[in-house]
Amino acid sequence: MAQMATIDTLLSIPTDLVVSNPTALAPIPSDLRFDEAADDFLPAADLADLAAKLIAHRATQLWACGDAAIEYRWKRKGGTTNGKATLGKCEKPGGLLRHFSKTDYVVWLAADNCRYLGLANWQLEALLAHELMHVGLDSDTDKRIVAPHDWEGFSAEIEIYGLWQADLEAMGRAVQLKLFGGEGR
């Protein structure tokens, strides 16, 4: 008989991490550091180092990052989107900004919102991996894109209608793999 999974199984800390000391509070810059720099963005060598480890460790999922020029920043305030705290973004500069920045993407994490949530190291890793998963290539043109999320929906939608479309089915399979200890971590 299969072991029943609980929500705790979903929320458990993964074992295949690149960060050390996963449960410790993540080192997120204080607001004072932004004041000292008199800027809303701080260079983030710590995020660049973590990203390099992630890209090497998760080559299958983050393959599009391999040869991309990516800049990493901490942002003073992330704000909100549709009432939810924005934790980070992956943006693709275009035109003149791309010309002068010589970068394909800018990934920033919101220091204020990450601090407020008290993110642990493993959660910061998950957040950075999420933003890196937005780095993509258009399969028709081979041009760099900001890849969309695999699924977007509401919990109530799934409770009422189930996994009614392809992206929800894919998300459901991923959750089942995680719940029942299959491959896919």
- pLDDT tens figures, 60-110: 999 999 999 999 999 999 999 999 999 999 999 999 999 999 999 999 999
* The 41-43 sheet, strands edge to edge: 41-43, 70-75, 105-110, 88-91
Give the per-residue pLDDT at 132. Answer: 97
Q: Give the C-alpha separation, 61 to 83, whole Å.
A: 29
Give the per-residue pLDDT at 8. Answer: 52
Give the per-residue pLDDT at 182. Answer: 66
Residue 109 and residue 128 in contact, taking contact as beta carbons nearer than 8 Å: yes
Ranges under pLDDT 70 in the chain:
1-11, 182-185
Half-sphere exposure in the Cβ direction for 180 (13 Å, CA): 11
Number of Cβ within a 10 Å radius of residue 179: 16
Give the per-residue pLDDT at 152. Answer: 81
Q: Give the C-alpha separation, 144 to 141, whole Å.
A: 9
